Structure 1
Amino acid sequence: MRRWLRDNVGGLPGTFWYLWTGMLITRAGGFVVLFLSLYLTAERGASPSLAGLLIGAYGVGGAAGSLLSGVLTDRWGRRRTLITAYLAMVATMVALAFTTPLPAIGALVGLLGLVQSMPGPALIAAMVDVVPEADRPRAFNLEYWALNLGTAIASLLAGQLAEASYTALFLVDAASTAAALALVVWRVPETFTASRTPSAAGGGFRRVARDRHFLAFTGLTLLFAVVVTQAPTIMPIAMAQDGLGPSAYGRVMALGALLIIVGQLFVPRLIGGHRKHRVLALAAVLAGLGYGALAFADHLWFYLVAAVAWNVGQMLAAPPNAQINAELAPPALRGRYQSVFYLTFPAAAFIAPAAGGFALEHLGDPHWVIAGGLGLVAAGLHLLAGPGRERHVAALRARPEPDIVRS
């Protein structure tokens, strides 16, 4: 057991663990996004289509926030970007707790998407700064594990909070973000160095836009994200139509997170030695089959069984996704590359509820067949794009890389 723990968590820099802990805290208290669709429909009387559009504002704001974070991460530094984002997140969630008109809620949801998307690029860029390349697969696996450990905690607590008070849901989320902010202020140094300026790599976002291997990889990640974003956006509405309440939805989400908590630390050894694009293709197939099966779901047990398939897919996809992103990004442009990659998540947060809410309302169960088909399409495209990307990465590794700070 000691050897297994050492192989999985040993030897990583202290700064990584403080960043990891802050991420865990914010995810454990991240109740709002999980139950936003139920809040809008059950508490504020929005229809499924209107709720989907309002939640879509979260995705629109997230796209802007991701790009803004990329610029600030490369210019201001990782630490200042994190502090600014966490402060804005606290203020926005407190405002949402006491706002009732739907137009105002929609505006605040868009702002929440903006500020909640900002920490991601800065956190990952800082982790890449301080973790040696050989240790990054373990670090990224632990990062994904922390996200899902936090999700398990949030899912179990949020279902009970939502049934008691949606106001408490927003305020506890704000408090957890304030705790992460305090940790960053207290213990996280700046990992950004003056030698790593955008001009050193040439072109800023223009450089990113010319990287066809990175853009193709990001597009495939978007397809996968649209599929798996069904769970926090559209699935709670479908479960409510089947007569299942918030606590049942919380159990489905908690099961997925529990699977990842128990099994994620075994994933690096499981997929080690396998080519990344093949692992990603298998992950997309599992996600597609899991969500496609919901076309036949009408009981809690069916949702739980389907959740096993798509969560195993997400477990397999997380480490190679993060590794490929780190491999393709020049050190001077890590913030911008991370921000463009992170656009996939707010984009999916817009596409999944906006299109999914309409499809669920007007098509019903065939919506899930479409979602599952997207996963299978993503799998085939990963198999086509992977070999060329691997040759490109090999060429990048042959070039010298500037020294980076490790703390």
Structure 2
Amino acid sequence: MRTVRGWFRETTGGLPATFWYLWAGTLINRLGSFVLIFLAIYLTQERGFSELQAGLVLGLWGVGGAVGTTVGGTLTDRWGRRPTLLTAHVGAASMMLALGFARPLWAVATGALLLGLFAEAARPAFGAMMIDVVPERDRLRAFSLNYWAINLGFASAAVLAGFAAEVDYLLLFVIDAATTLTTALVIFVKVRETRQPSVSVPASLGGAAVPKSALRTILTDRIYLGFVALNLLSALVFLQHISMLPIAMGEDGLSTSTYGSVIALNGVLIVVGQLFVPRLIRGRSRSHVLALAALVMGVGFGLTAFAEAAWFYGLTVLIWTLGEMLNSPSNSTLIAELSPAELRGRYQGVFSLSWQVAGAVAPVLGGLVRQEAGNVTLWLGCAVIGAVVAAVHLLSGPARERRAVALRPRAVPPVEPATTLVPPAPQAAEAAATAPTEPSTTR
């Protein structure tokens, strides 16, 4: 019992109150994240759209997300984390309801585009706020705890959404909107602005140059952009589980509730095991961990080519989930160390952009490959991509780590120590003063 209590304290103790409010908001939001899980099935089975039309709608959601993360990253640095989060959540809830009531294809497509824009605009702000309030030494477990909350909610949502869809698909949109608004309420009541004053330092210290040089800084950061490109390739594989996987299972005669139960295994495994991952990978080469994660994920999706029964689909989900569990915390801590503090929101936005580009391309590309070359080719292609990403991680990892070490000593311009508005702020202020080059996860 003492060992369990000690592990629990080691895993959850010492994190600031703002982190736990963000964590609670994440859990509430994910408990109602019904729509995206079943959107492909809704469009093809309930609305009668073709696979290509469904892929295009999902692709527009990704396009909207790409715009949202870009705008959200800029607003996070200039306007603030809190107002960006609140605007994004309220807008996403509104668009969720609009999409549920939309009927013509053009209205559904427009709703998906705007939903993607608002929903994904929150990612850079959330990631930047997490880094603002959590000291560098605690980030690995903080990101793991947040990812655990995401998947606890996802596992529950996948099962509940399957049954809700059999009652009425509109219920999916209503519940999703309600939980999104609840998250906005938690942020409004409990979370204060965490952006550091150093984001807008006086012109005499070079502050005026930050907005003008931000894009150039990112576009010339080849090491970071290479890392983002690898995430894009991984995301193209990973996002097939919400676009082509439900369609493949449907063609094998499996129901929506069966798909919900199978995909829920992803969340269940993460809930059971994710909190042990930080201890498992602590002190190990991040490049090796990321390479192993990409390889395991590729194998899991590749085996889907041979699946026909629910148990086999479930086995493939469990395999690629192991890769996802290894990938997420290593990704998050590395992004944090590769991003300058004054451009934290924009760097978060660029990383999130890789997910949105994948969200736009993955369903269209997956549908095209499946339609023209067949189901087996699609999933075996995923395995090949996983192997390529693993190899490149091994080759590029040393340069990334050298960059992280080189950035670590840099300090925020010697103005007054950053004063945060975070409730228990000593740790956040210490992190801002000593770890200026950092950022964060989702799924």
Calculate the TM-score normalised by the size of structure 1: 0.98
Give 1:137 deviation, angstroms: 0.7
In 2: Cα distance, 1:62 partner to 1:79 partner: 19
Which position in structure 2 is the counterpart of 1:379?
390
User: What's 2:273 paired with?
Assistant: 263
1:16–1:130 CA contact under 8 A, matched in 2: yes
CA distance in 2, matches of 1:142, 1:348: 25
Tell me, yes or no, if the aligned pair for 1:44 and 1:102 is still in contact at 8 Å. no
> In the alignment, which residue of structure 1 is the partner of 2:285?
275
Whole-Å Cα distance in 1 between the matches of residues 157 and 26 of structure 2? 13
Question: Residue type matched to 1:302 in 2?
Answer: F
- Give the structure 2 partner of residue 64 of structure 1: 67
Paired residue type of 2:123 = G
Q: What is the DSSP-based 3-state SS (H/G/I as helix, E as strand, rest coil) of the residue aligned with 1:195?
A: helix
Superposed counterparts of 1:126-145, under 5 Å: 126-145=129-148
Counterpart code for 2:343: L
Q: What is the Cα deviation at residue 251 of structure 1?
A: 1.0
What is the alpha-carbon root mean square deviation over aligned residues? Answer: 1.2
Mark the structure with the bigger radius of gyration. 2
1:271 deviation in Å?
A: 0.7
Deviation at 1:179, TM superposition (A): 0.5
**Deviation at residue 220 of structure 1 after TM alignment:** 0.5
Counterpart position of 1:337:
347
Quick one: distance in 1 between partners of 2:319 and 2:131?
A: 30
Contact 1:158/1:250 (8 A) holds in 2: yes
Q: Is the 8 A contact 2:61 2:359 kept in 1?
A: yes
Unaligned runs of 5+ in 1: none
Query: 1:256, 1:307 within 8 Å by CA — same for their partners in 2?
Result: yes
| 2:198–2:412 Cα contact (<8 Å) kept | no
Aligned with 1:223 (options 233, 239, 245)? 233
Match of 1:253 in 2: 263
Identity %, equivalent residues: 48
Following the alignment from structure 1 to structure 2, what is the Cα–Cα distance between the partners of residues 154 and 175?
13
Q: What does residue 433 of structure 2 align with? A: none
What is aligned with 1:13? Answer: 16
Shift of 1:338: 0.2
The equivalent of 1:39 in structure 2 is 42
- Residue 400 in structure 1 maps to residue 384 in structure 2: no
1:400 Cα shift?
2.2
Match of 1:359 among 369, 376, 385: 369
Write the distance in 1 (CA, Å) between the matches of 2:278 and 2:313: 27
Pairing partner for 2:243 from 233, 249, 252: 233
Partners of 1:30 and 1:287 lie apart in 2 by 23
After superposition, the C-alpha distances for 1:302-353 in whole angstroms (9 at most, x for unaligned) are: 1111111100000000111000110011111110000000011111111110
Which AA in structure 2 matches 1:281? A
Residue 337 of structure 2: aligned partner = 327
For 1:367 and 1:144, the matched residues in 2 are separated by 28
Q: Provide the secondary structure at the position in 1 that maps to 2:197.
A: coil
Q: How many residues are treated as equivalent by the alignment?
A: 407
- The CA distance in 2 between the partners of 1:257 and 1:278, in whole Å, is 24
Instruction: State the shift of 1:362 in Å.
Output: 2.3
Unaligned runs of 5+ in 2: 424-443
The alpha-carbon deviation at position 401 of structure 1 amounts to 4.0
Distance 1:117 1:205 in 2: 20
